[in-house]
A and B are shown apart, each in its own frame.
Chain A
């Protein structure tokens, strides 16, 4: 993969987040080919050729002592030193990374040292546990981005704390977002996070846009009219359902509330750009199913579902 492609992949917003979320151990290759410090450069040539790699860590009694690359091999070949020991041709003082460091740290080190690869060390045991190239990072990121939301896949690739809000089991994925009442500064943040999470799961941007718009309207209703509530998104293989619930005042006349332009929002809410009475009709427009259940004095439960096509 060329430098340009790497750079392009890495500027995408979602990837920028992933490089903070993912750890080096998620991207590194664990089955590391190594060479012993007492081997000859001829042995190195055989390993690099057979494994189709361009460098390999050097061990001495199980400890990492250096790294030998294809450039070192070329120099040795040019000097007719094929029988020389790796010990004399390798680069000692090898720069290593810890397996539990975030991927973004590895990217910074690649930019800083311009090395082709870093050996990866376990922080506790100090043993070599893997090796990482830029290609490994790009492959890992692409794999995450292409990941679909099938349960089988999730079992392997559940991206750790990217989904702090995951509270459910194997067949469905549930994301729960709290919404604060009357906090206009933050109103929209729950839908914003939901949108990011759904995109990470590989749903199509058009589908995610519809879900996010409906969810944002629901979130605004909670912020405007209630003391707070929550948005719970249930993601199944073929659909996403959002339940927006609150313990607010309730809606006296649901049918009236559904009419475009009907609003009980005070003027100051209208001046904030909301409350023009299009919230519920807009949710309906963007979703495949919608139901509203409200009791005055108890609260409101709004559910809506968007059918998703399987991502490819």
Chain B
């Protein structure tokens, strides 16, 4: 599924990477502990989190994640956005909770890949 379809279906606000929405999303990951994301997230997944600081971009870039969805309408820091532009990571914002966003993604057929 293309990122653009997710943005439309979930009514997400695009904070960075407007030109990257044709990216393919092949799964989902949810979590706020960066060490867990580094350990378990898979390439091509969309990452749902409430973290906003610049480290999330580094993590997403390292793991080759398709995009970051920040929940609860929280605004990413300026440093985060700047880094996201550099690293080509789309940052999207939802007003809803992690649980709700994952439920919405599930409705679109997005699944978790990861098996621990």
Contact = CB atoms under 8 A, between A and B. Distances in A.
Contacts of A270: 34, 51
B77 A261 contact: yes
Contact of B33 (A260, A261, A263, A271): A271
B52 A261 contact: yes
Contacts of A276: 32, 50-51
A271 B34 contact: yes
A267 B50 CA distance: 15
A269 to B, nearest CB: 12
Q: How large is the interface on A (under 10, 10 to 19, 20 to 34, 35 or more residues)?
A: under 10
B62 interface: no
B83 to A, nearest CB: 16
Contacts of B34: 267, 270-271
B62 to A, nearest CB: 15
A273 B77 CA distance: 19
B40 interface: no
- Which of B51, B53, B77: most chain A CB closer than 10 A? B53
A284 to B, nearest CB: 16
B113 interface: no
A267 B35 CA distance: 10
B2 interface: no
Contacts of B74: 260-261
Contacts of B50: 276
Nearest to B74: A261
Contacts of A273: 32-33
A261 B33 CA distance: 16
18 contacts: A260-B74, A261-B52, A261-B74, A261-B75, A261-B77, A263-B53, A267-B34, A267-B55, A270-B34, A270-B51, A271-B33, A271-B34, A271-B35, A273-B32, A273-B33, A276-B32, A276-B50, A276-B51
- Lowest 7 A-B CB distances belong to which pairs? A261-B52, A271-B33, A271-B35, A261-B74, A276-B51, A261-B75, A267-B55
